[in-house]
Amino acid sequence: MAHAAHHPTALSVNLNKVALVRNTRHLGIPSVTRAATLCLEAGARGITVHPRPDERHIRRHDVFELAELMQAWPDREYNIEGNPFHNLMDIAREVRARGLPLHQLTFVPDSEGQFTSDHGWSFPQDAERLRPVIAQAQALGARVSLFMDPEPVQMAAARAVGADRVELYTEPYAAAWHTPDCAHQLERYRAAAQAALEAGLGVNAGHDLNRENLTEFLRTVPGVSEVSIGHALIADALELGYAATVTDYNHRIAEAFR
C-alpha cells in the first residue's frame, strides 16, 4: 500500500469539483472514486466531500461509494462536510448503518442554494441548536469540526458546545495573498488557532488554499492538523495529474515545517 505523507498537517483532498465535471454528461467520467484512489496512492491523508442538498456536484451515491473505498485505506480519513440541519446527518447515519467508515463530520452553516461556503457558525446564536447535533454525530463515532471564521473570541464557545475541532475558513487569507493586507490576515488566523488550541480544540483549515498560499499559512498558524483543499488542487490536477499534484501539495506542506 502506498504510504501517506507524514508531516504534522494532513492533506485531505476535496473531490467536489471532480463530481461537478462528471455531472455534465451521463458517462460517469471523470470518476470520483478513481480520483480518490489516485490521490490516496500519491499520499493524501484523507478525502473530503461536501454533498450539498442540490447535488450540484457530490451526490448521495458518491458518499457511500467513497466510504466503501476508504475501507481499503484504514490509515486515511474520510471527512464529510455539510449543514447538519439539512441532509448531512441523514447521510452520516446511513454511512454508519452500512458499517462504513466516517472519521470526521465538518458542520458548515450553508444555505441550501448557496454559491459556495463563505462563513462560519456564530456564537452564542448557534450554540443551543448545535449542541445536541454535535452529540449525535459523535455518537456515530465521528469527530466533529465546526467551520468557523478566524475569531479568537468564538473558539471557547465552539468548545463549550462539544466540538472536537474547528475548521478555519481561509478565504479571507487567500484573498489577501500578496496584498498589503496579508500580514494582518495571517495574524488573525494565528490568533484564532492559538485560541482554539488553548480552548482544547483541534485546528483544521480550508477554502481557497492553493500551492502558492499554503506554506506561509502553515508556517504562521500553529497546530493545523488538517487542510482540506479542493478547488485549486483539482484545477492543478487538470494540468499536472492527481499524483504529481498531491505530491506537490505535500511538499508545500512539508516545507512549512523544515
Ligand X SMILES: NCC(=O)COP(=O)(O)O
Ligand Y SMILES: CC(=O)[C@@H](O)[C@H](O)COP(=O)(O)O
> Binding site residues, as ranges?
14, 25, 52, 57, 116, 208, 230-231
Cell matching residue 223? 497546530
Residue 116 or 179: the one with the smaller Cβ distance to ligand Y is: 116
The answer to whether residue 50 is catalytic is yes
**Cβ-proximal residues to 157 (8 Å cutoff; 6+ apart), any chain:** 123, 124, 127
Does 226 help bind ligand Y (rule: CB under 6 A)?
Answer: no
Length of the chain (residues): 258
> How many Cα atoms occupy the beta-carbon half-sphere of 166 within 13 Å?
33
The contact pattern for ligand X, residues 50-79, with x = CB under 6 A and - = no contact, is ------------------------------
Show the binding pattern over residues 165-204: x = contacts ligand Y (CB under 6 A), - = does not: ----------------------------------------
Instruction: Report d(CA 24, CA 13) in Å as an integer.
Output: 21
Residue whose C-beta lies closest to ligand X: 206
The entry of ligand Y, ligand X, none near residue 77 (CB within 5 to 8 angstroms by kind) is: none
Q: How far apart, in whole angstroms, are the C-alpha atoms of residue 42 and residue 176?
A: 30
- x/- site string to ligand X, residues 202 to 221, per CB under 6 A? ----xxxx------------
- Output 53 or 255, the one with its CB closest to ligand Y: 53
With 0-12 / 13-18 / 19 or more C-beta atoms within 10 angstroms meaning exposed / middle / buried, residue 128 is: exposed
- Which three-class secondary structure state does DSSP give residue 202? strand
Dihedral sign for Cα atoms in the order 175, 180, 181, 183: positive
Q: Is 207 a catalytic residue?
A: yes
Residue 126 binds ligand X (CB under 6 A): no
Annotation: binding site for 3-amino-2-oxopropyl phosphate: 14, 25, 208, 230-231
Cell numbers for 71, please give them: 475501507
Angle at 170 between CA 166 and CA 175, to 5 degrees: 170
d(CA 208, CA 64): 26
209: amino acid identity, one letter = L
Instruction: Please choose which of ligand X, ligand Y, none residue 229 contacts, taking the beta carbon within 5 to 8 angstroms, the exact cut-off set by kind.
Output: ligand X
Site string for ligand Y, 100-139 (x = CB under 6 A): --------x-------xx----------------------
229 binds ligand X (CB under 6 A): yes
* Burial class of residue 96, CB neighbours in 10 A (0-12, 13-18, 19+): middle
Give the one residue of 73, 78, 107, 147 binding ligand Y; rule: CB under 6 A. Answer: 147
Give me the residues that bind ligand Y (CB under 6 A), please.
14, 16, 50, 52, 81, 108, 116-117, 147, 206-207, 228, 230
**Residues classed as catalytic:** 50, 81, 207
